[in-house]
Amino acid sequence: MTSLREKTLFVGNFIRRRCVIDSRGTVVKNTNSFLSQKVDLGLLNKLQANFQNRRPYFQFLSASILSSCVLYFIQKKRYTSANIDAYFWNDLGLRLGNALNLRAECAQGPGMRARFNFIADIVEQAQPAVVFLEVVKGNERYGPKQRASGSGFIVRSDGLILTNAHVVAGASRVQVCLNDGEKVQGVVQAVDQVCDLATVKVQRSNLPTLPLGKSSEVRPGEWVVALGSPFNLQKTVTAGIVSNPGRETMGNLTKSPPMIQHDAIINVGNSGGPLINLSLSLDDGEAIGINTMTLTSGISFALPADLAVDFLNRAKRVEGKFPKPAPKRHYVGLGVMSLTPDLQMNLKKMAPNFPTNVEQGIVIGSVYVGSPAHQAGLVPTDVITHINGKVVTSTSDYFKAIETGEKITLQIARSTGVFKVSIVPEDVD
């Protein structure tokens, strides 16, 4: 069967042979034969039917015909009609022939779809390292078991998986579903609830991995892709851009690092999954963050990869057991951020539960299940306006209050009203 490339090359050469003139302007090939065979209409109509999805090509073809016609009418008054007609048909024929030959050469290379679907290329490269985690928490002796799910990704080929601490902390059983569908038992090795990072190990070898990039080099506006299993929907892909690579301050302690804010949509179950860069360089397909939480649609946050690298190094040195710091760190179970005018305006538009009558405070972005904050009934989009009776203006006020480890009283603004709760921070290792 004749290929598309061979057909178009034949047509291009056919047109050029019918439209060649010598240096004196004499028509060597009869242009009437070109017209009599209706190549200009019938054949081009067939080509248009074959290439109906190649609009850039037909734009080039149309421009070629138009430029020949313009040149023809400009030069019509300067030369004899016979020579001009000959030159016109020659020029038009050469342009049509070149356009068809160009299309034929392009047909053997990658198409527009293959060239510009860069997100699909990155997903194809990174997806094999992403896993789905099914977690069972609790003990039947002390109450009913809780089932949860999350995401993670393989960072070492011997089966070491990186995820969020709030996904696997307190788990009595972790089942890991690999990309090929195989389900294996995982063992939680290292957990740092302050950084909200953990590792899970499976007994497998030669697994595909996803490298960690340098989050310190991330710039606002960079394309990113979030991979994970929201609502147990495995292998879900969403894309967006980095809104702010150093959003301060999200976390539980005073030294919690800035997080990567992005607008790729994530939901329950995306936690622990990778946020992958899309820069057109040799660093394509690196995890620059670990998706952790979302405030509302379009406002999502990921832990920076640099923090994960430090965590993995510490976990390796102490074989999964972290030394107790001095002094102790205290845990409330909140992810918070300062309420700026821009954030306040966005939340009023996008979060229906956000209180409209507050002008200052800190916004609760996430509440970890089982934490003191969760037991106190706090929920995302609540705003902390006062701590121990003092006005709160930034996250530093919150961190200073929990440093002592003593009971704190929070005044909370919610869409339904204002109330107070008392919380005793937990000591964590």
Residues 295-326: tens digit of each pLDDT = 888 899 999 999 999 999 988 875 545 444 34
- C-alpha 179 chain-centroid distance: 19
**Cα three-residue angle 397-289-133, rounded to 5 degrees:** 105
Q: Strand (E) positions, 305-388?
A: 329-331, 334-338, 362-367, 383-387
Does some domain include residue 208? no
Residue 27 sits in the same domain as residue 102: yes
Residue 415 sits in the same domain as residue 343: yes
Residues in the chain: 429
* pLDDT over 90 at 183, yes or no: yes
* pLDDT over 90 at 2, yes or no: no
Last residue in a domain, options 275, 291, 317: 317
Question: What's the domain count of the chain?
Answer: 4
Residue 99 sits in the same domain as residue 167: no
Last residue in a domain, options 113, 144, 164: 113
Range of the domain at 41: 4-113
Q: What is the tens place of the pLDDT at every residue in 51-78?
A: 444 444 445 555 555 555 555 555 555 5
Last residue in a domain, options 67, 86, 113: 113
What pTM was estimated for this model as a whole? 0.56
* pLDDT over 50 at 231, yes or no: yes
Residue 419 sits in the same domain as residue 390: yes
Residue 420 sits in the same domain as residue 349: yes
Does some domain include residue 322? no
pLDDT at 324: 42
Residue (of 194, 182, 189, 196) closest to 150 by Cα position: 196
Residue 310 sits in the same domain as residue 337: no
Does some domain include residue 424? yes
Reading the block at residue 426, the tokens are 């937990």
Residue 350 sits in the same domain as residue 421: yes
3-state secondary structure of 8: helix
The question of whether 397 is a catalytic residue gets the answer: no
pLDDT band at 155 (very low <50, low <70, confident <90, very high): very high
Q: Give dist(CA 177, CA 150) in Å, integer.
A: 11
Does some domain include residue 122? no
The question of whether 166 is a catalytic residue gets the answer: yes
Q: Give dist(CA 298, CA 207) in Å, integer.
A: 33
Q: What is the tens place of the pLDDT at every residue in 370-398?
A: 889 999 999 998 999 999 999 998 888 88
pLDDT at 99: 58
pLDDT at 21: 38
Residue 20 sits in the same domain as residue 80: yes
* pLDDT over 80 at 110, yes or no: no
Residue 36 sits in the same domain as residue 101: yes
Q: Give dist(CA 176, CA 133) in Å, integer.
A: 5
Reading the block at residue 243, the tokens are 């809104």
Of the residues 166, 262, 330, 386, only one is catalytic, namely 166
Residue 8 sits in the same domain as residue 96: yes
Let me know: does 413 contact 365? Beta carbons within 8 Å. Answer: no
Give the containing element (helix H, strand E) for 173.
strand 171-177
Residue 104 sits in the same domain as residue 8: yes
The question of whether 271 is a catalytic residue gets the answer: yes
Residue 144 sits in the same domain as residue 66: no
Of the residues 91, 192, 196, 397, only one is catalytic, namely 196
Q: Provide the CATH number for the domain around residue 187.
A: 2.40.10.10
Does some domain include residue 324? no
* Other C-beta atoms lying within 10 Å of the C-beta of residue 56: 9
Mean pLDDT lowest for which of 179-193, 210-224, 328-342?
Answer: 328-342
Q: Give dist(CA 124, CA 126) in Å, integer.
A: 6
Does some domain include residue 369? yes
Of the residues 64, 149, 151, 271, only one is catalytic, namely 271
Does some domain include residue 405? yes
Q: What is the tens place of the pLDDT at every residue in 406-421?
A: 899 999 999 888 999 9
Q: What is the tens place of the pLDDT at every residue in 10-50?
A: 555 554 454 443 333 343 444 443 333 334 445 445 444 55
Does some domain include residue 9? yes
